[in-house]
A and B are shown apart, each in its own frame.
Chain A
Amino acid sequence: MNCRDVQKFIYVYLDEEFDKRESLEFETHVAHCAGCRNLVRFEEHFRVRLRNHLRPTTAPDSLRQKICGALDKSQTISEPSRVAALPHRRLNYRSAAWLGGSLAAGLLFTTFGGWQQVANLPESGEGNVAILGAGIGGGFVSANDSFPIPIEQTTDTAITTHQGNPPLDVQGNEDTVQRYLSSKEFPLRPPLVETFETRLLGARVVQFGASPVILYTYDHGGRRISALQYMAPGSFPVDGKLFNHGQHQGYNLVSFGQGESTVTTLVSELPQKELQRLIPGPISR
């Protein structure tokens, strides 16, 4: 170790991040070098004073109460899956009634224009993002799937719905919406985190083929976001995955998995990056 290394790694040493041998090398050099000794003495002193001045604070009681109040209203989902009830709502996949409904809904919602683009999206550089490739897509529409909506098809559904801006079944914040959905046997949790700039306006149950999709409408800094929440097709794990749709017809779309089996598609005029930032994802890697 030379003077330059000592300069460079001084904090690594002082923060005790060196291993034993490295510390020894560091100390050996310093023992024989007056200049480095002065530096170490100074930095040690500085570090101690800095730490002494960064005093811990106590959170105000009013804040504690506010947070506890908000937690009382918020429902935690600690057990298996927050959407496990959805499959019960599913109609018989092969029944004639379903086919009829599906065709009608298909006319309204479904075109398959979104397919190719999804598969060819440029990869995001982030490690925690998985782009759904065409390979997985093949498994989507098997008759055994509990929820026969290919994620790709939702591109058009999402855009049509967002453009149509249909009246909401229920208006209000997360609690109101969640209560409403529970009463309709959807024990679901709204997909985005409400903050002072992102507010939930309400929700609507939309039928997509045989399957219910929940449309949530959010306001984000004055701009509208539609969030369509539905069961992931098939049994591959979706949690923490990002299915990046990119831009379509002037809107930005992004889908992400949550819990064991829900996927949410966001559509808005917001820039893609901003949209992605709303995904409650710091914890999903």
Chain B
Amino acid sequence: MGFSFGKFRVGKARTRFEEEALVHMDAIYGSALYLTRNERDAEDLTQETFLKAFRHFDKYEQGTNCRAWLFRIMTNTFLNKTRRPVREMSFLEEVDTHDRDSGASEHSAHLLDPEAGFLSRMFGDQVRQALESLPPDFRTAVVLADLQDFSYKEIADIMDCPVGTVMSRIFRGRRLLQKQLFDYAQQQGVITGSISIESQETKADGAISLSEYRQKKTASHGA
């Protein structure tokens, strides 16, 4: 078994790393900024991500999606630090708890503001503020989808969860954003309507299941 720390070999890996991984630094940092909510932590998270990636670059399969691989490292690092260490919750518990805590409604804000006045008054810093107020899992899913444009499947791989969970997180994440933005607009008097989200009917059942829908579909076709 030979082993070499030859300069050539190390140099080659470094060049490859620069070409394949370091080119994604803006994307990683930009997302880290939304996740950690401040520049210092975003820089730390970015640095930690790339150092981990470099150390494990031998595990990265060349030609596969390096950007997704880096996001997987970053997301895991971030969520491991953020998640409450008290007790692992199953996904369904998690969704329930978030729902109770946040009042996430299944209804779109367009019921509250049919004129959608607040949409035309959505400002960058409010969007950022609203996004930063989301629970970490929802925030991460929304950032991966809406900032980084990853597919649901890619997000599921990155966040290490089923696609159905990704759907729920994106759904509830975006709806929570709407609620926040609606509240801001209301505070600023953009919207004068008096309907409060609490008076709306809240969700009847839990997670979004596309496979359930597909199964139902298949069953009814068969009948």
- Interface, chain A (partner B; CB < 8 A): 5, 7-12, 15, 17, 22, 38-39, 42-43, 45-47, 49-51, 53-60, 63-64, 66-68, 70-71, 74-82, 84-85, 87, 125, 182, 187, 189, 193-196, 259, 271, 273-274, 277, 280, 282-284
CB neighbours (8 Å) of A53 from chain B are 122-124, 127-128
Write the nearest CB–CB distance from A55 to chain B, whole angstroms: 7
A-contact bits for B11-53, CB 8 A (1 contact / 0 none): 0111011000010011111100110000000011011101110
Knowing A63-B29, A76-B57, A193-B51 are in contact, say whether A187-B46 is a contact too (CB < 8 A): no
Query: Number of A-B pairs whose CB atoms are under 8 Å?
Result: 183
Question: B6 — nearest CB in chain A belongs to which residue?
Answer: A79
Measured between alpha carbons, how far is A38 from B111 in the docked complex, in Å?
A: 10
Query: Which of B96-104, B141-149, B183-191, B192-200 lies at the binding interface?
Result: B141-149
Asked whether B73 lies within 8 Å of A282 as measured between CB atoms, the reply is yes
Asked whether A76 lies within 8 Å of B54 as measured between CB atoms, the reply is yes
Asked whether A195 lies within 8 Å of B1 as measured between CB atoms, the reply is no
- Interface, chain B (partner A; CB < 8 A): 1-5, 9-10, 12-14, 16-17, 22, 25-30, 33-34, 43-44, 46-48, 50-52, 54-60, 69, 72-73, 75-77, 80, 85, 88, 106-110, 114, 116, 119, 122-124, 127-128, 131, 143, 145-147, 151-152, 167, 170-171, 174, 177-178, 208, 210, 213-214
Instruction: Beyond the given A76-B13, A79-B3, A182-B5, please list 4 additional residue pairs across the A-B interface where CB-CB is below 8 A.
Output: A9-B210, A42-B116, A53-B127, A85-B1
Contact of A189 among B55, B107, B124 (CB under 8 A): B55
Asked whether A71 lies within 8 Å of B50 as measured between CB atoms, the reply is yes
CB neighbours (8 Å) of B107 from chain A are 7
Measured between alpha carbons, how far is A11 from B173 in the docked complex, in Å?
A: 11
Question: A127 — nearest CB in chain B belongs to which residue?
Answer: B160
Knowing A75-B5, A79-B9 are in contact, say whether A49-B57 is a contact too (CB < 8 A): no
Asked whether B177 lies within 8 Å of A50 as measured between CB atoms, the reply is yes
Judged by DSSP, the binding face of B is helix
Measured between alpha carbons, how far is A79 from B4 in the docked complex, in Å?
A: 8
Contact of A74 among B3, B55, B171 (CB under 8 A): B55
Asked whether A57 lies within 8 Å of B110 as measured between CB atoms, the reply is no
Question: B107 — nearest CB in chain A belongs to which residue?
Answer: A7
Measured between alpha carbons, how far is A87 from B3 in the docked complex, in Å?
A: 11
Measured between alpha carbons, how far is A187 from B5 in the docked complex, in Å?
A: 8
Selected A-B contacts with CB under 8 Å, 10 pairs:
A9-B213, A17-B152, A47-B146, A54-B147, A56-B27, A57-B29, A74-B54, A77-B55, A182-B5, A283-B59
Asked whether A43 lies within 8 Å of B108 as measured between CB atoms, the reply is yes
Knowing A49-B119, A64-B25, A70-B47 are in contact, say whether A7-B5 is a contact too (CB < 8 A): no
Knowing A45-B119, A46-B178 are in contact, say whether A84-B210 is a contact too (CB < 8 A): no
Asked whether A67 lies within 8 Å of B171 as measured between CB atoms, the reply is no
Question: B151 — nearest CB in chain A belongs to which residue?
Answer: A17
